Each structure stands twice: as C-alpha cells, then as structure tokens.
Structure 1
C-alpha cells in the first residue's frame, strides 16, 4: 500500500518526526568538524581548490604539536572544518570504518550549487549526485577517503511528509541541467557567504544503540525512519542534522592510526540547554568529559561531540 504524502507545512511541528522525552532546542547548529588527515598540504589543495574553502589560519608542526589548518568562508570568522595532520594516517576504505561517512556543506541557493558543479566539471573531478526530495546534492571523495556532500535545500514549503509525520527522502537522479541553468553565467568564486555545515552522516554498529544515544539521550527527533539501514535525526523540524546508518556494520571502529573524525561540535543556544543535554547523556551512562571549551560526549563507536553554548551566563 502506498503511503499518502502531504505537504510538510500541512502538519503542525509536534506531528513531524518522532520526539524524544526531552528535545533539543529548535535553534541548534553544527559547528566545526575536526578531521585527522595524512597530509595537510594535500588536503589543503583539495579543500581550497576543489571545494572552495578559504584558509582562515594555519599552524606549523612543532615538538608535541602537529600541523593544522582552519577553513571556512572568506570574510567570515566561523571555522567550518579544522584539519589536523597525522603523517602516515591510513586512508578510509569504502564502508570500511565505523565513524564518519560524510560531512555535508550546505550552500545557500540552487544557483550556488550550479556554479559549484560547473567548477568541479572544469577540474575533471568525479562528482556523484542525487535528488533527495528536500535537497539537491553532489558528492566528492577527499584524498583521505572522506566523502564530502555539497548540497542545497529546497524550501520547506516543497518538502513532503507522510501522515505519520515522516519527512520523505529520495534517491532520485539530480536534474543537473536545471541546476546548471539556475547558475546562469555566474562563475564559482569559492564558498559563498552563508555556507554552513548542514549535516553529518555516521557509520554506526547498531541503529538501536545509535537511537539510544542521539535520540533518547541527546534529544534529536527522528525525522526519517523508513530508509533501509538508516535513521535521519534533526532538531527544529530540519530533515536531518545527522544521518545514522549500519551500512558498514561489522567494520572496525576508526583508530588513532586512521584518518578519522576527531570530533564534531553541536552548539546549543545557551549554557542551560547545553548542560541539560550533557546531564541527560551522563545519566544514560555515556562518557562525558568536561573541558574548557565545553563537555565532550562519546558515543558507542568513539564518535566525540563537543557541546557548546552560544551564550554564557553573566558573571
């Protein structure tokens, strides 16, 4: 039986998704994604020349400290990706490590995506693509084997939900002709203002255990649950801030010898909501480490998340 689809806007917010006992605030955002890479020079070439990141700062290797670089959008102080060099780090085999599957760079408009596609084609770099119903997406693989999604969202007025409140996803072919037409004669000049980290996608060993950490304890809503071997979770009605899948179940967890996700950042609106999220995770039995930047929690597969607060209490 085919499920009847409804416009996203036809359901109230409380009817969209599966809600945990205590939800995250609707105004969360994803912060810096920290990656360990084998060669900083090689990765900087890819992230700047191919993806269009701007180099915000760079540190040289010293005794006791590895080389690193912070990347973002030109003219903005917000660090989207931090690369830390780990010479000799093993590349990531396809579906061969539990941990990060991809990080997703969200562009502001369809025209921006068209400019990016034209740019990548001009470089001769392989580009995968898909239409996810709520977004139009492209995929590249970086030199260490990390997948990078570059995408644009459709307006929420164009999203669809089931009568049960599940946001509808798809794996349809991308209308590349239409996306390129949206760009017109504009040329790619690097990541445009307003670009963010839209979501992250993780390889996990169990959807039940993943839901226990990210949904029941941390507080994300489950937005999509009918995909084979995956859950998409988000806050504020977004289609997903995190993808959680078991497509690499049985593979080993990424180790200190591998290129890997060192940590990601989840920014909450204030210290109270941050501390409450950390307390829920700790009460559920997960490791939560206090640091000067904020508490860092670790999921069952060693994926670490820094919980940050946009505003701190007055002293």
Structure 2
C-alpha cells in the first residue's frame, strides 16, 4: 500500500438506516435475510451474524420519505461465505418474501429484493478469486447474466440464519454525478475503480471487485435526504491508515469530523461515511 490508497484489508463495516416502522423492518432482516438481533431498544435495533454487528436500524416517524429526486442507497449487499448460504437465503426469500431480481455477475451470484421500507437489499456470495477474470486495463470482469437458480437451491443447507462470517460486502449508492463520486471515493479517499458499466462505477480497496458502487441510472438530482441510508462505515486495518485517508480527504477540501468511534466525512451527495480502524 502507498499513502495514496486505502489498504487492501479495508472492508465495509456497519450500515445504518432510518425507518418509520422499526418492528416491521427488524422482522424482515431477521426472518428473511437471516440476520441475528444483537441489541433492541424502543427506537433502535442492531443486527449481524451473531458475532459482528452489520446493520443498525433507527426508528424516526417524523423524518419524511426519501424524495424521488434524492441521492442515497441503491442497496446494502450482505455477503454470505458460501453458495449454501445463498441457497438458504433463496429459500427464505421465495417462501416468505418476494425477489426483485437475481444475477450471475461472474465474480459472484446474487439475489435482490427490497425491505418493507423500500430499501434495496442484495444477498450474494463470491466465487473464489482464482475464478475472477481480469480486464485488459487491470480491472475485474463483471457482467449481469442469468442465475443458475436450480444450482443455488440445491446448495441450500436448511439454515434459518445467515452463517457466521456473513458481512456487508459492499454498499451501492445512487449519486447525482459520477465524476464527483469518483473524485471523492477514488481520488480523495483512495479507492480504485475496478470496473464500469454504462452509468455506474464500482470502486474497491485493493483488488476486491467493489466495496462501493455508484450509479446514476435513476437520474437522482438532489442531495441525500429523508428516510433510508443514515450512514455507512469503512473499516481500515490501522489508525495510521485512517489518518492517511483523513489527510487525503482534507487535502482535497472535504471536512473531516472526529467522532467517538472514528471519523466522519460527507460525500458530494450528502451521504455520510464513517472511517474507523
């Protein structure tokens, strides 16, 4: 790693959502996605894989819905460690909810749906990195092809909860301008563009396929506001790496705020990012 890049050990930490009905949304993430409730109070729930917190939900009935024009969350992507875990997720979704899509992305196999509040959700597993193909420019080859749903179902193990080791593999955002997103996440923060689609960027620390996706497919035109994504977190391996990232961000003109558990910065669309070691 150099001082201009995030360490390859960087990963996504927690994702925080503001919702109107905490009970309904918590039930979805527990029974359908398969997360485990770690903490629950009157207006807050924390869920994860039983060991690590992955999702924080906060109830706020006074916050309005996210405007159709506003930037924000496209989906939170929960990564299970095996195809069997994906098969279990497919059984839960088909039995208790409704899929909005499935895909084979070459590097991964994925299921898509929306939670009761309308937030996008992806559940996926990664193929071994030895199976990933590199593009001529040094990126990673990705596509959207039909999922072998039969093979995924056959891999199911019958588990009602996600396996230990499940994490948030990436967060996909809806942004207003791809150039501005690239200037923040690539040039300032220190990620690398791993691949592009028409109207989308996929960025990562190191050689992962992506930790952050950004798209303009729905032509969002105003900063993030309303219910939905509150913040998301990147976990870096050392305090020195956090300091280096902060120096890059401040050098590029972004305001960094020191918080109790790390630092906070806002991207060009008003989306709050937390960094911690």
TM-score clears 0.5? yes
**Residue 9 of structure 1 aligns with which residue?**
none
Matched, 1:126 2:74: no
Matched, 1:251 2:227: no
Residue 89 of structure 1 deviates from its aligned partner by 3.9
Q: Specify whether residues 124 and 242 from structure 1 end up closer, same or farther in structure 2 by C-alpha distance, changes over 3 A only.
A: closer
3-state secondary structure, aligned to 1:32: strand
Query: Which of the numbers 18, 25, 43 marks the counterpart of 1:36?
Result: 18
* Contact persistence 1:133–1:169 (CA under 8 A): yes
Matched, 1:137 2:128: no
* Contact persistence 1:205–1:246 (CA under 8 A): yes
Q: Please, what TM-score do these two structures have when normalized by structure 1?
A: 0.84
**Residue 158 of structure 1 aligns with which residue?**
131
Q: Which structure 2 segments of 5+ residues have no match? A: none
Output the CA distance in 2 between the equivalents of 1:135 and 1:96: 30
Output the CA distance in 2 between the equivalents of 1:21 and 1:247: 33
3-state secondary structure, aligned to 1:45: helix
* Contact persistence 1:254–1:260 (CA under 8 A): no
Equivalent residue runs for 1:262-277 within 5 Å: 262-277=230-245
Instruction: Choose 132-141 or 114-123, whichever is displaced more.
Output: 114-123
> How many correspondences in the alignment?
277
Q: Deviation string for 1:105-125 (max 9, x for gaps)?
A: 000001111121112212252
Equivalent residue runs for 1:215-294 within 5 Å: 215-225=186-196, 227-255=197-225, 258-294=226-262
Query: Which of the numbers 88, 101, 107 marks the counterpart of 1:115?
Result: 88
3-state secondary structure, aligned to 1:290: strand
Q: Which structure 1 segments of 5+ residues have no match? A: 1-13, 15-19, 61-66, 310-315
Output the CA distance in 2 between the equivalents of 1:307 and 1:166: 25
**Residue 33 of structure 2 aligns with which residue?**
51
Indicate the RMSD between aligned Cα atoms, in angstroms: 1.7
Output the CA distance in 1 between the equivalents of 2:220 and 2:205: 29
**Residue 267 of structure 2 aligns with which residue?**
299
Q: Specify whether residues 110 and 250 from structure 1 end up closer, same or farther in structure 2 by C-alpha distance, changes over 3 A only.
A: closer
Residue 50 of structure 1 deviates from its aligned partner by 1.1
Q: Specify whether residues 142 and 128 from structure 1 end up closer, same or farther in structure 2 by C-alpha distance, changes over 3 A only.
A: same
* Contact persistence 1:204–1:245 (CA under 8 A): yes
* Contact persistence 2:178–2:200 (CA under 8 A): yes
Residue 253 of structure 1 deviates from its aligned partner by 2.4
Output the CA distance in 2 between the equivalents of 1:251 and 1:208: 14
**Residue 194 of structure 1 aligns with which residue?**
165
**Residue 80 of structure 1 aligns with which residue?**
54
Q: Please, what TM-score do these two structures have when normalized by structure 2?
A: 0.95
**Residue 70 of structure 2 aligns with which residue?**
97
Residue 127 of structure 1 deviates from its aligned partner by 4.3
Output the CA distance in 2 between the equivalents of 1:117 and 1:187: 11
Q: Deviation string for 1:23-57 (max 9, x for gaps)?
A: 11011121110110111011111111111111101
* Contact persistence 1:106–1:150 (CA under 8 A): yes
Output the CA distance in 2 between the equivalents of 1:46 and 1:245: 26
Query: Which of the numbers 145, 170, 173 marks the counterpart of 2:143?
Result: 170
